[in-house]
Structure 1
């Protein structure tokens, strides 16, 4: 009996050893599903050729706050190995009914934002930086053999973001007294990073945040502020349109206050979140100060193209992808700096006079 027990014991240890030896690290492309295109584009920048990214909400013609995912969207999320979400109640549908094996990367959790905070985190330099690092860490965890590659991609992204941040700081230092008003809170973080003060009437802000009707007196106060040109620029979200915001953008145009359209979702002409934010910065700074512009240094961009060319030797198209990004950024810069018109559009070409916002949960 003792011999039999010993034999069973040995057999048990051997079986356990065989089972452990069969646990092999996953290989192949990581299946990533993002709730919105802007975070999906960042995942693609960090993951490169080793990720396949599917973004659910990508249209600038859809109200993100009322978005309802299709069955196919939920199926894609359920099959994802990594889910990239915004959080802060902006896309709660994205993290429901997920596979237990899925890893969730949430912008809200990354920066500690909670319900009631402004949800448009992709416009925050801190959130973008935190998400880039978190994505690199998660990708490295699920594909340990690719850790060096993801680290390289992160460093490339950080150089681009550093260049963007430098241009924003330069503007902030030279325009300490600039102001803006907004029909909705989409660009709150972006304007804060640019150092531009929000002068939107608080009565209007509170009415919009509470989701109620804006009182005529509140609307009149906003109009008077624009007529007095107390704001250097009016920021408008064309995805949130109403007669009220049409009135405000019309008042701004008549009062020679520039109007800059800022959509919530990334327009299709941009291939990366970095390029989109850079184009918005160009548009806003040029609208405020047409003589200033926002010229970027091409040296780092050239270095990024060289790095991607090396990766493309593996049969990938990353070099052309980076070239497209550079071209898109350059085109946006040329377009923005070559005009001194009152209106600057960075969405899908929607007319500012036809757009605005009355939704709730819009913190300025």
Structure 2
């Protein structure tokens, strides 16, 4: 679907919900008195829900593992949820521009918006997959907690406890695996199918040698250059990479060919996804499963 058609559809949705702001209690707590939070992606929604506990209600708009966030078309239900929310979390960095259009269609006071890209200081043409950066995830945790304390000052200490539990208990295995992989495999050359892994690789100390332009092209749905394809083919055939990491939600013909080449070369392969998988998984369970699979692949490749 063309970008022009997508914009037209999104604006049509916006037009349907413009009256909501004037006839509803936007900017106040929900019917049960708890702040209403809407996250564009379930990655951020999972974190927001765990930090909020039973003091907030959290709705994630993109929560289907089979949905492509880059091409998502909002529904009237999505528009209504955003129109009535106290707090909206959008990824930004050009990843979910439809969120801002829905917000602009219902300009009301009392509704706060967290743009993750702006929070962490990423340019509009930067890598939008910020949930793969442990440093950025921590900044989001801090920002969400601060917002909850602003919306519900009486429960400020409760939100401090929720954050502490999430950081020290829920994320314990996530942080441990990152440290373990970095300690054991730092400097190991790896390849990847697209830019969603480009933020986690340096956190793990891995040397991602796939051409950056190729990673970006696959993520954005554009055609990689023949030169970049040739470089990756050589990296695989010459065993210049120890492990190949690919997004199982976006296996284009080029990526499938690279997977087949890696298998033929006996290079271990592991997968990651762009959204929570399986459906209903928590952020930490999803990340831990992927990190464990990567650690297994690295062990298989190196014997360490």
Mark yes or no: TM-score above 0.5. Answer: yes
Contact 1:270 1:276 in 2 (8 A): no
Q: Deviations over 1:270-304 (max 9, x none)?
A: 532122112211111111114999xxxxxxxxxxx
Range with greater deviation from structure 2 (73-82 or 231-240): 231-240
Does 2:177 correspond to 1:176? no
Partner of 1:247: 257
Quick check: 1:110 aligned with 2:119? Answer: yes
Give 1:50 deviation, angstroms: 1.0
1:153 partnered with 2:178:
no
| Cα distance, 1:268–1:205 mapped onto 2, change above 3 Å | closer
Alignment match of 2:136 (pick from 117, 127, 141): 127
Q: 2:147 aligns with which of 115, 138, 155?
A: 138
Q: Distance in 1 between matches of 2:208 and 2:182?
A: 14
C-alpha contact (below 8 Å) 2:90/2:116 kept by paired residues: yes
From 247, 268, 275, give the equivalent of 1:265.
275
Name which of 67, 70, 76 aligns with 1:62: 67
Cα pair 1:204 1:222 within 8 Å, conserved: no
Match of 1:38 among 27, 43, 46: 43
Q: Is the 8 A contact 2:276 2:283 kept in 1?
A: yes
Q: TM-score, normalised by structure 2?
A: 0.81
Alignment correspondent of 1:325 = none
Q: 2:220 & 2:154 partners in 1: Cα distance?
A: 49
Alignment of 1:80-119 (within 5 A): 80-98=85-103, 99-119=108-128
Rg: which structure is higher? 1
What's the CA shift for 1:198? 0.7
Residues of 1 paired with 2:212 and 2:124: CA distance? 20
Partners of 1:143 and 1:203 in 2: CA distance:
44
- Aligned residue in 2 for 1:228: 238
Unaligned runs of 5+ residues in structure 1 are: 1-24, 294-364
Moved over 6 A (4+): none
Deviation at 1:260, TM superposition (A): 1.5
TM-score in terms of structure 1 length: 0.69
Q: Is the 8 A contact 2:186 2:204 kept in 1?
A: no
The alignment partner of 2:199 has SS state of helix
1:76 matched to 2:81? The reply is yes
Distance in 2 between residues matched to 1:211 and 1:264, nearest whole Å: 14
Match of 1:198 in 2: 208
Q: CA deviation at 1:244?
A: 1.2
Rounded Cα–Cα distance in structure 2 between residues aligned with 1:290 and 1:51: 44
With over 3 angstroms needed to count, the CA separation of the structure-2 counterparts of 1:211 and 1:276, relative to structure 1, is: closer
In structure 2, the CA distance between the partners of 1:40 and 1:127, relative to structure 1 (3 Å rule), is same
Conserved in 1, the CA contact under 8 Å of 2:191 and 2:241? yes
In structure 2, distance between residues paired with 1:243 and 1:278: 28
Q: Deviations over 1:291-342 (max 9, x none)?
A: 999xxxxxxxxxxxxxxxxxxxxxxxxxxxxxxxxxxxxxxxxxxxxxxxxx
In the alignment, is the contact (CA less than 8 A) between 2:194 and 2:214 conserved in 1?
no
The size of the alignment, in residue pairs, is 269
Name which structure has the greater RCO, CA cutoff 8 Å, separation 6+: 1
Residue 287 of structure 2, aligned match among 277, 294, 298: 277
Q: Which runs of 5+ in 2 are unaligned?
A: 1-27
Q: Secondary structure at the match of 1:289?
A: helix
Looking at structure 1, the residues matched to 83 and 285 of structure 2 have their Cα atoms a distance apart, in angstroms, of 30
Contact 1:172–1:194 (CA<8 Å) still a contact in 2? yes
1:80–1:287: structure 2 CA closer, same or farther, 3 Å change rule? same
Deviates more, 1:205-214 or 1:159-168: 205-214
